[in-house]
Structure 1
Amino acid sequence: MLLQFKYIRGGPCKNYKTKTRAKQKEICLNKLTSAEIGKLWITYMGNSMARCVLRYFLQNVDDANIRDVLNEALQLADRFTRTVDNIFTQEGHPVPIGYTEEDVNVEAPRLYADEFYLHYLKYTSKAGISIYGIAVPFMSRPDVREFFTDCLVGNYVEDGANTMIDLGWMEQPPQAADRNALAKG
């Protein structure tokens, strides 16, 4: 159950929802810490780059299932960059320029097979999980901590992995031996 929290930042209360407390509170939002600024900055930069790469991939992908996974990844990257932009803007902090349409030619000839797109997502998802997971315990502001927690939950790893398995592009790890069969000798 989500409960309503109100956070005050030198003005009227802002509504904020969280699962972590059993009652409503009013808490003053502090300025961003250096750890928060750094993690938000790298999140913005990484996701602005992902938006460019994913737009290029979407111009060239053939498989409809892979297109769906790429579109979902693009929507997440868009949402993450918008959220960081909003946090920085509300704080009067400069917003990174990031990567833009000027940094990629989506009309460039195709460089990769569809299979590569899913491998790319798998490895960028692993990097994102690492960045977001490390960020959570260092975030002192509840809104920033919740954003990074949401980033972890909102990751598209499962859809990409399932598509790779369905297409036979992900190797299965070795299976443990049947202990009962081994015991019978």
Structure 2
Amino acid sequence: MVKIIVKVVLEVGFGQVCQNEDVKKYFKRGKKLCEKQFNILSQILTNAGLASPASWVSEVTKSTVSPFSDKLMLNHIVILISAAIGYYGAAISVSQRRDLTLEYARLMAEVGLYAEDGAELLIKHGWLEEPPLAEDREKLASK
């Protein structure tokens, strides 16, 4: 859950300094998604008689001057989203509670849709580079 809190703080800060309106809307959407998921997981902890971590949003300064480019901030968030999907997958693989695995799968699907939209935004602005590809062995062998 701490990872969700960190992502909320980043999206609040990034959304505050971002210049591109599409990216700003994306950060706001991500903040809402993270808050929703945080509340769901907090409720599970509360129902089990456990404490949930506090939010750090109040630690974000009021600055509106960006220390980073919109490209860097968006890439950073998309990478964090990819990691979140992996964390939910790992949680599913070790959880022995059916209710938790179902909740993790649902949360992972929501994050996956958000990640896809982030990749599309990177492509739209020309900020996504082509990843390294495997060589076409058939083509090389025919030379």
TM-score in terms of structure 1 length: 0.67
C-alpha distance in structure 2 between counterparts of 1:117 and 1:81, whole Å:
22
**2:119 aligned partner, one-letter code:** A
2:120 to 151, 156, 162: 162
1:130 to 63, 66, 86: 86
C-alpha distance in structure 1 between counterparts of 2:19 and 2:61, whole Å:
19
**2:15 aligned partner, one-letter code:** L
Q: RMSD of aligned C-alpha atoms?
A: 2.1
Q: 1:47–1:77: 8 Å Cα contact kept in structure 2?
A: yes
Q: CA deviation at 1:158?
A: 0.7
Q: CA deviation at 1:105?
A: 0.9
Offset from partner CA, 1:76-132 (integer Å, 9 cap, x none): 11111101111111122112224231x221425321111112111121012212211
Q: CA deviation at 1:173?
A: 3.1
Would the alpha carbon gap of residues 133 and 81 (structure 1) be closer, same or farther in structure 2, given more than 3 Å must change? same
What SS is found at the alignment partner of 1:154?
helix
C-alpha distance in structure 1 between counterparts of 2:42 and 2:140, whole Å:
58
1:63 to 17, 20, 36: 20
**2:71 aligned partner, one-letter code:** E
What SS is found at the alignment partner of 2:61?
coil
TM-score in terms of structure 2 length: 0.84
Q: Flag structure 1 segments of 5+ consecutive residues without an equivalent.
A: 1-43
What SS is found at the alignment partner of 1:76?
helix
- Aligned pair count reads 140
Partner of 2:63: 107
Would the alpha carbon gap of residues 145 and 180 (structure 1) be closer, same or farther in structure 2, given more than 3 Å must change? same
Q: Which has the higher strand share?
A: 1
C-alpha distance in structure 2 between counterparts of 1:85 and 1:109, whole Å:
33
C-alpha distance in structure 2 between counterparts of 1:115 and 1:138, whole Å:
35
Q: Which has the higher helix share?
A: 2
Would the alpha carbon gap of residues 174 and 131 (structure 1) be closer, same or farther in structure 2, given more than 3 Å must change? closer
Q: Percent same amino acid among aligned pairs?
A: 20
Would the alpha carbon gap of residues 178 and 138 (structure 1) be closer, same or farther in structure 2, given more than 3 Å must change? closer
Q: 1:55–1:106: 8 Å Cα contact kept in structure 2?
A: no
1:48 aligns with 2:20: no
Higher relative contact order (CA 8 A, sep 6+): 2
Would the alpha carbon gap of residues 182 and 94 (structure 1) be closer, same or farther in structure 2, given more than 3 Å must change? same
What SS is found at the alignment partner of 1:96?
coil
